Structure 1
């Protein structure tokens, strides 16, 4: 598997740094180099194999067979030289074998470290998955709570709109009642004026009636005098008696007319008094209704203010929960440069 030059350079630089930090006594692990170089596990494994091979590579001589021409030419000297050469070749072979064994052990160590690093990374990924699952659960709970608060806010808005409409209706009714009360007050004032005028007219009628009563008494006295003279001088004054009788009849008619006018005035006065009492009763009832409606309007406005306060509190709670949801969403998102 090939890796990019940039990844290889980062792996080699990280391995050299860790190797120097360890005092060049032991090679760094694949996981430590992966974390230092910030590469994935496959690139780290391949890169560390190349780095370790570069650290253990040695030039070893290769043993070859002595040609027959050399054997024939050298005899004993050549045999001695060949024996030394074999010894050197065997040493090179043993060195190469040791190098191969070391490289194989190195490869096995790298494989073991890679497997261990994979296991650790799998455990880390499982922990991240569980944390993400918990955060998602909290986010779902927050979303459900946010939806519930949104529903409550919508209900409060609807209730607030209904109470506002009711308050407007009460306000219109109160204005209508005030207007009606003002009309009744105007009618009552008019009735008072009419009553005063009727009272003045009654006083005038009473004065006129007293004058007429005085006139009637005078006519009655005159009639009595006329009757007395008439009875005393019946024979001598027959014509005068007839004229007096006619005057008496006219006086009686005037008395009856005055009495009729007096009775009519009394009836009209009673009607005016009854109308005045009715208007006063209506005005008092209108004032009471206006006061009751004002109290109802005040209570409605107080309830409306409470609903507005509750709506404001619900909005603040919704904003706070929205902030918590955004924080949980930000926490659940993978950070740049996080482990893959």
Structure 2
């Protein structure tokens, strides 16, 4: 969604809510019954067959609900699809592989088969006219070009599947998984008459067994939080590995010895006051020494 639209603006009975994409020709809108829809404004000279477009029924093709092919603002109204273009999905997640790629190839072929059964053709199938919803494709913006041809749709299927698998528009077929490669090569045949029908592609794609390939996209590097303090060595000191545990052991024994001296001193005070006083002073001195911090040669022990 790229920009808000005045809620007072309407196209027919549809209240415009926001622009979708960067071109400004697709709007999210609300129907008179509150239904969430998308409205594509058509260029001058476009004459889509709205009636036949509404006959295209497939989970892989957007539902066309309404439209006005002529008039001051020709447009097509379709169900709003809450997905992201295939181009953005691949850019963010990396190329597809395994079952995700199989579902993409199969879904796109089923979409074209449904469109072709009504006598229409897509005409602009590509990464920008395929939305990804729950890892499945939904084809939009179909049958808007008068010269659209079914055989060219099949060639576009090959190009779109190749992009999904590689993230490149110019990738050769030989970089594709071995199971997918023959289908792409057949759909890209220079002779349009030699290309398989979309229904045949869907049947073959449903049987694909493609290997899952770990994404080559590197994980983002962790950057240090500026708010986190970075430990710095104290000036003039150098850590001495192994010294801290040793000093802790020494101090522990010193405290134990001092405690024993205190007990003996108390007993001596009772029995011999002068000797007990001497021992008491010695015990206090020893306790102070035992509780003193480690020497300056170790910072943070």
After TM superposition, the score normalised by the length of structure 2 is: 0.31
Structure with more helix by fraction: 1
Higher strand content, 1 or 2: 2
Higher relative contact order (CA 8 A, sep 6+): 1
Question: TM-score, normalized by length of structure 1?
Answer: 0.28
